[in-house]
Chains A and B, each alone.
Chain A
Amino acid sequence: DQQVKQNSPSLSVQEGRISILNCDYTNSMFDYFLWYKKYPAEGPTFLISISSIKDKNEDGRFTVFLNKSAKHLSLHIVPSQPGDSAVYFCAASEGTSGSRLTFGEGTQLTVNP
C-alpha cells in the first residue's frame, strides 16, 4: 500500500534549466507535505514544506506546488545547479505535531554541467 508515489525514478536536466519533480498521494488525511534531499551515505535533509491550506510555497530556488483535488505535488528547482544532484524524497503526514512521515520512493536528479 504505497500512499505516496514518485513515479519517476530518475530525472536528468541541464545546468541552468528547471527541474520538476512530481509526487502523488492517495491518503486524503494527509495535510502536510515535505521534500527532502539525500546524498549517498548521508541522512535526508529537509528542503521545503507546504501545508494543505496553501497551494504554493517558495524558498529561494525551490518552489513546491500542491494540487489537493488531484492529490499531486511538485517541486520546482530553478535554476538547477550541479550541486542539486541527489535523491529527492517527497513525504506526507497527517498533522504537524509528533506525526510520522510517509515517504515516496525517491527520484534521482542529475544536473549536468
Chain B
Amino acid sequence: NAGVMQNPRHLVRRRGQEARLRCSPMKGHSHVYWYRQLPEEGLKFMVYLQKENIIDESGMPKERFSAEFPKEGPSILRIQQVVRGDSAAYFCASSVNPGTLNYGYTFGSGTRLTVV
C-alpha cells in the first residue's frame, strides 16, 4: 500500500498559467480532502470529495479554483490563472468510507506550488 500519492511534488508556474495538482488516495479509500498551507500558517481546509461528488467545498476560493474526483483516476485540484498568493503547499488526505477521524486522515507529502 503506497499511501496517499501526490504529484508533482514541486510545481512552478508563471502568473496567469494553470496549475493541476493530482492526488491518488490510499487503496480502498473513497474520500479525499484537500488542504492548503500558506507560509508560516497552519493547514486550511479547502474541499471534501467522494467519487464523482463534491461533498463540502466551503473552503474553496470562489474563483479560479476547482476540484474533482472522477470515478476512475486521481483527484485533481485545478487552479486557473495563478497569482503569487496561490504559492503554498497543497496537501491531500484520504480516508475510508465514511471518513472517520478516529485514527486521523492519511495525508500525502504535498505539492509545493510556486508562482513566479
Contact = CB atoms under 8 A, between A and B. Distances in A.
B69 interface: no
Interface in B26-52: 31, 33, 35, 40-45, 48
Given A103-B44, A104-B42, A106-B42, A45 B99 contact: no
Contact of B99 (A32, A36, A97): A97
Contact of B91 (A4, A44, A46): A44
B2 interface: no
Interface residues of A, number: 27
A101 interface: yes
B110 A97 contact: no
B26 to A, nearest CB: 12
A43 B109 contact: yes
A49 B109 contact: no
Contacts of B104: 34, 36, 46-47, 49
A51 B56 CA distance: 23
Interface of B: 4, 6, 31, 33, 35, 40-45, 48, 55-56, 58-59, 91, 93, 98-110, 112
Interface of A: 4, 6, 32, 34, 36, 41-47, 49, 89, 91, 93, 96-106
29 contacts: A4-B42, A6-B42, A34-B104, A36-B104, A41-B109, A41-B110, A41-B112, A43-B6, A43-B108, A43-B109, A43-B110, A44-B91, A44-B107, A46-B103, A46-B105, A89-B42, A96-B100, A97-B100, A98-B48, A98-B99, A99-B99, A100-B45, A100-B56, A101-B43, A101-B45, A101-B105, A102-B45, A103-B44, A105-B40
